[in-house]
C-alpha cells in the first residue's frame, strides 16, 4: 500500500513531522495534538461568530461532561471508537484515492458526520480529523493498531482539552 509520505501538493503545507514515524512517540503525540488543537480553537471562534451572524440561535453541540462516565466517554471511549472506524475507512479510501486525498476525504466525511449533530460543529472538527487521519496513516506502517493508538492518543488529548473547558464552564 502507498505510504503517506507520497503526500503530494495537497498536504505539502502541513509540517513534515506529521508524516514521520521515526521519532519519539510521546513528542509526536504532543506536537500533533497542538497542531490539531490550536487551529480548531480558532475555527471554533470563527464558527461561533459566523453562527451568530448567519444563523442566530444555532448552537454548537450540547455536550455535558459533568459526570465521570460522560467524561470517560468523551476522552477515552469516543476517540478509540472513532479512530477504529476512521482507520478502516482510511485504508479503503487510500486504496481508492491514494493517501493524500484519503486524508482530505476522511476529514471532510468526519466534518459532515459531526454536522449531523450540529452544522457549526462540522466546520470545527474537519481540521482535527485532517490531522488525525494523517497520524493514523503515518503510524499504521507499524500495524493497524499502532495507527489507531496514535490517533486515539491525539484525539483523546483534543477531547480532554474540550472536556476540561466544559467542566470549567468555558465551553
User: Per-residue DSSP letters for 101-123?
Assistant: HHHHHHHHHHHHHHHTT-HHHHH
Number of domains within the chain: 1
pLDDT in tens, 30-75: 999 999 999 998 888 887 777 666 555 555 555 555 677 877 888 9
Classify residue 129: in a domain, yes or no. Answer: yes
pLDDT in tens, 72-88: 888 999 999 999 999 99
The three-point CA angle 171-154-23 to 5° equals 150
Task: Give me the pLDDT at residue 1, please.
Answer: 39
Confidence (pTM): 0.86
pLDDT in tens, 113-151: 988 877 777 788 999 999 999 999 999 999 999 999 999
Classify residue 153: in a domain, yes or no. Answer: yes
Classify residue 62: in a domain, yes or no. Answer: no
Amino acid at each position: 500500500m502507498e505510504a503517506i509520505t507520497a503526500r503530494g501538493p495537497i498536504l505539502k503545507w502541513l509540517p513534515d513531522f506529521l508524516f514521520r514515524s521515526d521519532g519519539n512517540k510521546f513528542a509526536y503525540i504532543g506536537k500533533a495534538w497542538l497542531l490539531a488543537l490550536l487551529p480548531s480553537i480558532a475555527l471554533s471562534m470563527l464558527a461561533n461568530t459566523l453562527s451568530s451572524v448567519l444563523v442566530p440561535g444555532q448552537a454548537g453541540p450540547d455536550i455535558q461532561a459533568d459526570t465521570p462516565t460522560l467524561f470517560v466517554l468523551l476522552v477515552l471511549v469516543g476517540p478509540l471508537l472513532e479512530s477504529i472506524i476512521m482507520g478502516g475507512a482510511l485504508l479503503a479510501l487510500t486504496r481508492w484515492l491514494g493517501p493524500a486525498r484519503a486524508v482530505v476525504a476522511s476529514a471532510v466525511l468526519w466534518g459532515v458526520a459531526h454536522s449531523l449533530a450540529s452544522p457549526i460543529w462540522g466546520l470545527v472538527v474537519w481540521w482535527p480529523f485532517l490531522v488525525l487521519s494523517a497520524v493514523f496513516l503515518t503510524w499504521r506502517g507499524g500495524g493497524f493498531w499502532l495507527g489507531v493508538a496514535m490517533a486515539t492518543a491525539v484525539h483523546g488529548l483534543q477531547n480532554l482539552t474540550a472536556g476540561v473547558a466544559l467542566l470549567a464552564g468555558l465551553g
